Amino acid sequence: MKCCISPIQKARLAYAPKLPSALRSGANVVCKEGKKMKPFADEKKIKERFPNTSNMPLLQFSAGSGATLKKPVNVGVILSGGQAPGGHNVIAGLFDGLKSLHSKSKLYGFKGGPSGLVDNKFVEITAGFLADFRNTGGFDMIGSGRTKLETPEQFDKAEINCKALGITALVIIGGDDSNTNACLLAEYYKAKNAGILVVGCPKTIDGDLKNEFIETSFGFDTATKVYSELIGNIERDANSAKKYWHFIKLMGRSASHIALECGLRTQANITLISEEVEAKKQNLDEIVTIIADSVARRAANGENFGVALIPEGLIEFIPDFKVLIAELNDLLAKDADAYAALPSNEKKAEFILGKLSKKSAAVFASLPMEIKMQLTMDRDPHGNVQVSRIETEKLLVELVKNKLADWKKAGKFGGKFSTQTHFFGYEGRCSMPSNFDADYCYSLGFNAAAIIRTGKTGYMSSVRNLTAPAEKWIAGAIPLTAMMNMERRHGEDKPVIRKALVELDGAPFRKLSSKRAKWAVETSYVYPGPIQFFGPSEVADITTITLALEKGK
């Protein structure tokens, strides 16, 4: 036991996560095969790339006899990508599931993410070692990383390392890219009869890894509750001080699920949704006008304060910005050295302007120098702009301020506009998991042990019916290839697990849309408060508004 822990940490270590009834007798389950699952799209190309792991059946589990196996099972586990609350409980569930199969089964954690598998950096996860991490946040048990597993050389090194430890299965805990790599690994090992199964688990706080059989990715519940508590605190402060508009950027590069959930939970005055901006082809001025209109109308009611929620990836969904960013990506890939050698920001901006199309140059020229420089910062490993480092919230503040100044000159605005800006990101990634995420993650891990018991490879752990009590959750597995399509990346068609964006005809967005006009003008704030770990189920075990609406609750 760690020497210094808080009372709440001590209580969380003692929490016993709930399991679906199918898993309560152990991981030696009865497996029923369902319909064969075609790829999400690009069926022919996916089948060509994954001949051994395509067109596999959906799996559903029911309780087994509780019998143990004659031989122990050795398994490796990897945490991949960014942190998400509940990762430790996936490992705890996997450990307990393996021990239910045979008391001498072993679990090895590869340290630092996928690179640990290739570089043979590992730790054996024992009951004593695991005890300090149950129901805790973070990935610090074994660490994580963003190394991609995609080359035969990596796969072969991993195979050698696994066989040295007697490992016959790997569990990869990650998002869409990590599970795409898990599928590549599963296909490679199955094609050569390596004797190593590969199972994925759905992780991302962004909420964009979901479908009919993966109702939510783990960590989304906890992260959105953490952010909503903070937003609620700010709303209450705004309603108390009555002098600031707070512009809050929230995580979510490719999808706006976090902003949508937090908007529904807190009833902020403005909640921007990137997918809507793209669908309606809204330009930057239209977005600014929407916010400025709310500011002006609230000011007319004597309320010179408010809260606006902004998705992290918004800027990439604005049509004219999308074109600008694509041009910048190409330009900086070709002329990175020449650009870096320029002596000042002014010279750099001038260099960029001279190489952009006329339309993109006009957009770039309209931006504050600070945003210009953020748009041209070093790219990520995929060659894309690092949107988390672009202060979109500050850009919008500046442009709304300018528009309101113009309106004031024209006699259309007589209020005040003072602002505060925030970015909530890391605050939510390593929080103690909510009861829902603690239970869900533990079930996903235990369920992964059940998948391994069936001898199946190339599957993702699936636990669904999540708005029901945990004993009624449905345990099973979905083929990784069933979630795949082809995307153009670095000039090549590559198989990837499709990201689930906010559906504008879905119940959660329709709910937000129906309330926007009211919330934009009225002070309708809800103060969710902190995550509750104890108390009645409707308080302590409640899941997201998004999931409830999607399930018709």
Residue in 400, 395, 367, 368 with CA at minimum distance from that of residue 291: 400
Counting other chains too, the contacts that 123-131 makes at CB distance below 8 Å and 24 or more residues apart are: 125/77, 125/91, 125/95, 127/95, 130/91, 130/92, 130/95, 131/1, 131/13
DSSP 152-177: HHHHHHHHHHHHHTT--EEEEEE-HH
CA angle 182, 149, 129 (to 5 degrees): 75
Q: Which residues contact 330 (CB under 8 A, 6 or more apart)?
A: none
Has 206 been annotated as catalytic? yes
Q: Which of 96, 176, 177, 206 is catalytic?
A: 206
Contact 224, 427 (CB under 8 A): no
Question: In the chain, how many H helices and how many E strands?
Answer: 21, 15
DSSP 472-515: GPEEEEEEGGGGEEEEEETTEEEEEEPP-PPPTTSHHHHHHHHH
End-to-end CA, the chain: 41
Residue in 412, 409, 392, 411 with CA at minimum distance from that of residue 295: 412
Contact 452, 199 (CB under 8 A): yes
Q: At what angle do helices 319-340 and 345-353 cross, to 10 degrees?
A: 120
User: Which residues are the active-site residues?
Assistant: 206
